[in-house]
Structure 1
């Protein structure tokens, strides 16, 4: 990440240490900490890689919609992803089906790429020490990097939902939505339910983002942190599928990833949303603390 505001001044060397025993650190500038956050988000969403990842995610629901539309037979209930057989009756189910297909692999893959690159990417490019010259400090830099990864989680889920809704509107009839409880809601409320589901999935990915941030503090090779994050997400889902490990399932960060069915019932039930948020918050605290402990004592050489 290159940010001219974070470059060292003439009285502070590139390593961030004082030029002499009497030299002092650069004076804090008003709004400098928040400027670092704005800079991080700006750089993240200007990268071609970020847009390539988002476009790949958007392609998932679009391909599902096109495949169903061009198929010569109706989807069979019970075969394929959940809600696939409902797509031809209401195009809004394209968004839900797209999320279900994306959650096990595609969303963790893209989040792992972004989260694993947070610190290791800067170290690999040799820009990390320049960022640390800014008066915000290491703790705030970690927070900024995590907020950038969290912002990508939100952008990724909203991208899948938006692409699914647009594909459904273009290729299938769209109208009042029949929920799992048998109740029918208006089109406007259906869009709100889709946004709620996007929020649920975003929260589901926050724990994985914290894990990726921690791995990113352990290496200067971003590919290694990315791979470790993605592999761990796969391992967690495999463990969650084994009935012999029922006692472990509630502690796995992936356990509630697909439990947003309560948001498709009337009345709304936020119990699974709350349990998921509590679990992800626990992972955020644990791995955030580990990342802070590692980064605070890390010798920054690049």
Structure 2
């Protein structure tokens, strides 16, 4: 078969796959539950900004330039509203963002099975593998939308309440506001990639049950359990293997030079979780007896 014939044969499949992804993503975004989650995420930077504005101080002074976490960002908000973007992401990443992703991922397959629409989706010429990929892609797209929602809310609130200008990095180097925006965009992308592991875990759990509520509760429960394990000092030996461990490493993007070591570890760990739980989800879903 010639290359032209192969391309002609592949084009309808690609068109169908893109249409399936678009349909799944639109379905996710239009749900009231999803809109409520996005509203909560958007409200976090607003509440932080108002609290810092009312306080009228440097945010409590609890962190320094070497802290690399939320407190170090908060101390900079009154000087530059762009730091509200970083503070919002640091505040939502440990729980609110993964909670939203866990809810959407946990409901992706189980919700269809519970409502009785999963069998009808498979009647279309999509195939189980393609449907599973479309479901996961829609969860990843929602992860990006959720992360950008926090970032844009932080930027808008910071613009409204605080001055904007050159950005002083955690290492003390000053960069232009435009460069700061680019780093904010890179940080948002890094945070979204940090959520790919919990998305794959939620998708796998969703293939194990026909109850969307059970899948969502299990995913969120495992998330909380892993967060607790990650915070126990006596379990420091296993902490680097838990997917939340390096989540806040995005702060290293606000240094000059950028510290890439923990960021690479974070993305590598997420890739491992995606490979393991993605494969498990595929193995389960492609052999599952779907009768409803």
Give the structure 2 partner of residue 238 of structure 1: 228
Query: Which of 176, 181, 188 lines up with 2:178 in the alignment?
Result: 188
Indicate conservation of the 8 Å contact 1:41/1:148, yes or no: yes
Matched, 1:125 2:115: yes
Distance 2:34 2:71 in 1: 27
Give how far 1:293 is off.
Answer: 1.2
Distance 2:105 2:257 in 1: 36
Query: Which of 137, 142, 154 lines up with 2:144 in the alignment?
Result: 154
Indicate conservation of the 8 Å contact 1:203/1:276, yes or no: no
Give the structure 2 partner of residue 77 of structure 1: 61
Give the structure 2 partner of residue 39 of structure 1: 23
Matched, 1:49 2:72: no
Give how far 1:50 is off.
Answer: 1.8
1:289/1:163 CA distance change after superposition, 3 Å = same
Which deviates further from its counterpart, 128-137 or 56-65? 128-137
Distance 1:110 1:38 in 2: 20
Distance 2:99 2:88 in 1: 15
Query: Which of 257, 260, 263 lines up with 1:267 in the alignment?
Result: 257
Give how far 1:47 is off.
Answer: 2.2
Distance 1:236 1:277 in 2: 17
Q: Which runs of 5+ in 1 are unaligned?
A: 1-27
3-state DSSP of counterpart to 2:39: helix
What is the 5 A alignment of 1:106-255?
106-255=96-245
Q: Which runs of 5+ in 2 are unaligned?
A: 1-10, 64-69
Indicate conservation of the 8 Å contact 2:58/2:74, yes or no: no
Distance 2:101 2:267 in 1: 17
TM-score (norm 2): 0.90
Give how far 1:227 is off.
Answer: 0.9
Indicate conservation of the 8 Å contact 2:196/2:274, yes or no: yes
Distance 1:134 1:278 in 2: 35
Give the structure 2 partner of residue 280 of structure 1: 270
Which deviates further from its counterpart, 206-215 or 75-84? 75-84
Runs of 4+ residues over 6 Å off in structure 1? none
Distance 1:176 1:100 in 2: 21
When Rg is computed on C-alpha atoms for both structures, the one with the higher figure is 1
Give how far 1:153 is off.
Answer: 0.7
Indicate conservation of the 8 Å contact 1:94/1:164, yes or no: yes
Give the structure 2 partner of residue 68 of structure 1: 52
3-state DSSP of counterpart to 2:108: coil
TM-score (norm 1): 0.87
Give how far 1:35 is off.
Answer: 1.5
Which deviates further from its counterpart, 234-243 or 204-213? 234-243
